[in-house]
């Protein structure tokens, strides 16, 4: 038996068919990068409209690729109901409900942030729980004590921008396209990470697992364009300057993430860190986490790159709920905000 998982929390319309042994029979992602690129960030209404166009083709794609017969082969339909952009969430949830009615299947509501961490479970026999879960994405930068797939405690997170948002906005200052993370990484590979002395907010404060990235973003802006209100999109930066700033920013952001991840392991006494979310694709982050955790004899699990950015395969967490009979009524609402008690 299989699950059809649907993911439309932000700007990717994704579907997947996953069997009970967490084998992926089909996966499809329609990216909206081209829709949002000229705005250098996600425009919520355009995202919702693009989901509306893409959702049926994406469902049809995984049905035909997997060759399953929905009425016979599906145990349930899973959909991310939280957190995310309201208009985007509504499209996926409405589609999932309609398919539940048409095929007489139960609905499983899943939490997108938990699904990002659960991406580390795919392809592994042993349970990843208990662990510290770290979601580093365009919308979230949160640490959790994950006791089990059903019991998560919020430990701390960004008090302003998500780290991916900072990558995206710094990339705009450096004249790059959206999404900015991969562009910053590329520029940084030929830059000097010590060229600019950028702040690492809250890093020296061991009393909190909270993080902050907006000051780092502003510091980049002041270094590049001064403190005035001029329009930085009019500036053309010298290539070496852009590369050095990309490397300096990337190093500062990674230092903040590694520092708080290690503190979370210290505080909880846990020996395993699981990282998911788009920023976890970042090579420097992966290398630095690996080095630092090896020193502390902790296990590091990072989702494979294709499962870090938004996808529906991580909706495999639905099987954990199905095992306990945790279905949702077809009246279930979306929950756009992050529930810190999650
Ligand atoms: O998980 P995701 O696809 O969407 C959200 O749930 O937010 O994450 C997207 C974020 C974007 O901010 C993007 O710039 C960032 O992940 N990202 C990266 C890299 N690849 C994607 N950030 C840093 N380095 C990368 N290589
Ligand atoms: Zn995400």
Q: Which two tokens stand for residue 4?
A: 């059809």
Tell me what the pLDDT averaged over the chain comes to: 94
Are the C-beta atoms of residues 173 and 230 closer than 8 Å to each other? no
3-class secondary structure, 122: coil
Same fold, 2-111+310-323 and 131-302: yes
Q: In the CATH hierarchy, which fold is given to the domain comprising 2-111+310-323?
A: Nucleotidyltransferase; domain 5 (3.30.420)
If one looks up domain 131-302 in CATH, what number appears?
3.30.420.40
Backbone φ, ψ for residue 126 (5° rounding) = -75, 150
Distance CA 255, CA 260 (A): 9
CA distance 139 to 168: 11
Number of Cβ atoms within 10 Å of the Cβ of 299: 13
92 CB under 6 A from ligand 1?
A: no
167 lines ligand 1 (CB under 6 A): yes
Encoding tokens for residue 191? Answer: 């830059």
| pLDDT of 334 over the 90 cut | yes
Averaged pLDDT for residues 73-83:
97
131: which strand partners?
Answer: 146
Q: How confident is the model at residue 340 (pLDDT cuts 50, 70, 90)?
A: low
pLDDT-above-70 percentage for the chain: 97
Confidence band of 269 (pLDDT split at 50, 70, 90): very high
* Backbone angles phi and psi of 204, in degrees to 5: -85, -5
Mean pLDDT in residue range 161-176: 95
**How far from 310 is each of 30, 80, 282, 322, CA to CA, in Å?**
10, 11, 15, 22
Q: How confident is the model at residue 130 (pLDDT cuts 50, 70, 90)?
A: very high
HSE (CB half, 13 Å, CA atoms) of 153?
A: 9
Task: Give yes or no for a contact between 45 and 301, defined as CB atoms under 8 angstroms apart.
Answer: no
Rounded to whole angstroms, the Cα distance separating 161 from 22 reads: 33
> What's the pLDDT score for residue 230?
66
Give the lowest-confidence range in 63-77, 120-134, 270-284, 327-341.
327-341
In the chain, the N- to C-terminal Cα span, in Å, equals 29
From the list 43, 25, 26, 24, the residue with the least C-alpha distance to 34 is 43
The secondary structure of residue 286, as a DSSP letter, is H
Average pLDDT of 204-209? Answer: 96
Reported pTM = 0.94
Residue owning the nearest CA to atom 19 of ligand 1? 181
Burial label, 280 (beta-carbon count in 10 A; 0-12, 13-18, 19+) = buried
- Which of 93-97, 230-234, 260-264, 294-298 bottoms out in mean pLDDT, i.e. has the lowest? 230-234
- Best CA proximity match to 104, nearest among 80, 63, 71: 71
Position 237 confidence tier, pLDDT thresholds 50, 70, 90? confident
- pLDDT band for position 323 (cuts 50, 70, 90): very high
Helix (H) or strand (E) holding 299: strand 299-302
250 ligand 1 Cβ < 6 A:
no
What is the pLDDT, as a whole number, of residue 342?
Answer: 46
Identify whether the C-beta of residue 200 lies closer than 8 Å to the C-beta of residue 146.
no
Domain boundaries, the chain: 2-111+310-323, 131-302
Ligand 1 pocket mutation pick from 163, 250, 279, 311 by most atoms within 8 angstroms of CB: 279
Residue 88's pLDDT is 96
Query: Phi and psi of 91, rounded to 5°?
Result: -65, -45
pLDDT band at 234 (very low <50, low <70, confident <90, very high): low
Beta 151-157 vs 141-148: how paired, if at all?
A: antiparallel
CB of 88 sitting under 6 A from ligand 1 = no
* pLDDT (average), residues 20-24: 96
Cα 48 from Cα 51, distance rounded (Å): 5
Q: Are 43 and 36 in contact (CB under 8 A)?
A: yes
Spatial CA neighbour of 5 closest among 307, 275, 277: 307
Name the residue at shortest CA distance from atom 7 of ligand 1: 138
Compute the distance between CA of residue 116 and CA of residue 314 in angstroms, rounded to an integer: 6
- CB of residue 182 inside a 6 A radius of ligand 1: yes
For range 3-19, the mean pLDDT: 96
Query: Across residues 323-340, what is the average pLDDT?
Result: 91
């Amino acid at each position: 038996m299989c699950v059809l998982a649907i993911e439309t929390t932000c700007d990717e319309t994704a579907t997947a068919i996953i069997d009970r042994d967490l084998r992926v029979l089909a996966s499809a992602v329609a990216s909206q990068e081209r829709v949002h690129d000229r705005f250098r960030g996600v425009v919520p209404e355009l995202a919702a409209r693009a989901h509306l166009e893409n959702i049926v083709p994406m469902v049809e794609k995984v049905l035909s690729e997997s060759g399953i017969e929905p009425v016979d082969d599906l145990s349930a339909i899973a959909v991310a109901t939280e957190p995310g952009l309201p208009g985007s969430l509504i499209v996926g949830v409405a589609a999932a409900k309609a398919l539940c009615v048409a095929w007489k299947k139960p609905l499983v509501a899943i939490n997108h942030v938990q699904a990002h961490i659960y991406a580390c479970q795919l392809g592994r026999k042993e349970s990843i729980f208990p662990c510290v879960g770290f979601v580093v994405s365009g919308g979230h930068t949160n640490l959790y004590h994950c006791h089990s797939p059903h019991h998560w405690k919020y430990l701390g997170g960004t008090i302003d921008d998500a780290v991916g948002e900072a990558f995206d906005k710094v990339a705009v200052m450096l004249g790059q396209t959206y999404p900015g993370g991969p562009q910053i990484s590329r520029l940084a590979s030929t830059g000097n990470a010590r060229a600019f002395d950028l702040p690492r907010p809250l890093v020296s404060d061991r009393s909190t697992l909270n993080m902050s990235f907006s000051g780092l973003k502003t510091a980049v802006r002041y270094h590049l364009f001064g403190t005035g209100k001029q329009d930085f999109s009019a500036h053309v930066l010298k290539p070496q300057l852009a590369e050095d700033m990309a490397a300096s920013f990337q190093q500062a952001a990674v230092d903040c993430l590694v520092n708080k991840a290690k503190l979370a392991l210290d505080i909880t006494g846990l020996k395993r860190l699981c990282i998911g979310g788009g920023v976890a694709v970042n090579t420097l982050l992966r290398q630095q986490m690996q080095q630092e955790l090896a020193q502390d004899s902790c296990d590091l699990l990072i989702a494979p790159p294709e499962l870090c950015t938004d996808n529906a395969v991580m909706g495999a967490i639905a099987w954990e709920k199905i095992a306990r009979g945790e279905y949702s009524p077809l009246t279930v609402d979306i929950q756009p905000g992050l529930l810190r008690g999650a």
